[in-house]
């Protein structure tokens, strides 16, 4: 058996609500998991609410460690939009402390989301890219946001990739 891993998302004022095993990562103008982007679109020129998400190992399944976390997006965004994140392979800023997600320009998510698989880990565990989970627990927060200009066009449907390695 392999480890069981879910993606969780925290919303609201700290400590907030931790939604386990989210079904999608739709970005929009409300701080909710699995939001309906038709009901909560991003107005051109505005930003989406930040997403604060974590890898969460719910069962080690006989594995000894989960590590090497990688996050990236495939499929292009709509025109005049950018996707930013705290995930990065160099100059990683450590584990961010949860704060109420904002739809102002994020001060945490400041680098472009990779659009191909990163070479090495770009999300940490315990504040370090070389961190490991050896029991049930969670990664650092992945913070990401869509930012647009006034010329942005209607949104795109993209795929987020959340990848990890485990040692049996």
Partner 1 sequence: MPSHPETHLCGRCRAEFQDEEEYFAHECPKTGLSPTDPAHFGRRARRASQAALERGAAAQEN
Report if residue 134 touches partner 1, rule: CB under 8 A. Answer: no
Report if residue 30 touches partner 1, rule: CB under 8 A. Answer: no
Report if residue 17 touches partner 1, rule: CB under 8 A. Answer: yes
Q: Are the beta carbons of 85 and 109 closer than 8 angstroms?
A: yes
What's 128's DSSP letter?
B
Residue 99: exposure state from Cβ atoms within 10 A (0-12, 13-18, ≥19): middle
- Shorter beta-carbon distance to partner 1: residue 19 or 30: 19
Please state whether beta strands 51-59 and 142-148 pair in parallel, antiparallel, or not at all (unpaired).
antiparallel
**Which string of x and - marks every residue 33-72 that binds partner 1 (by CB under 8 A)?**
xx-----------------------xx-x-----------
What's 25's DSSP letter?
-
Instruction: Choose among 153, 125, 143: nearest CA to 56.
Output: 125
Q: Which of 4, 82, 110, 111 binds partner 1 (CB under 8 A)?
A: 4
Q: Are the beta carbons of 93 and 142 closer than 8 angstroms?
A: no
| Shortest distance in whole angstroms from residue 103 CB to partner 1 | 20
Where does this chain bind partner 1 (CB under 8 A)? 1-2, 4, 6, 8-9, 12-23, 33-34, 58-59, 61, 166, 168
């Amino acid at each position: 058996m392999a480890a069981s891993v879910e993606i969780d998302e925290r919303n609201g004022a700290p400590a907030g609500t931790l939604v386990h095993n989210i079904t999608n990562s739709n970005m929009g103008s409300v701080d909710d998991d699995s939001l309906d982007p038709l009901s909560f679109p991003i107005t051109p020129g505005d930003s989406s609410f930040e997403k604060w998400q974590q890898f969460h190992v719910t069962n080690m399944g006989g594995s000894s460690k989960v590590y090497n976390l990688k996050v990236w997006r495939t499929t292009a965004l709509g025109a005049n939009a950018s996707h930013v994140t705290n995930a990065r392979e160099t100059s990683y800023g450590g584990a961010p402390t949860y704060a109420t997600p904002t739809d102002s320009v994020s001060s945490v998510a400041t680098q472009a989301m990779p659009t191909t698989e990163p070479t090495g880990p770009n999300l940490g565990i315990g504040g370090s890219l070389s961190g490991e989970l050896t029991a049930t627990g969670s990664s650092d927060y992945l913070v990401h946001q869509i930012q647009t200009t006034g010329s942005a066009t209607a949104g795109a449907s993209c795929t987020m990739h959340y990848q990890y390695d485990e040692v049996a």
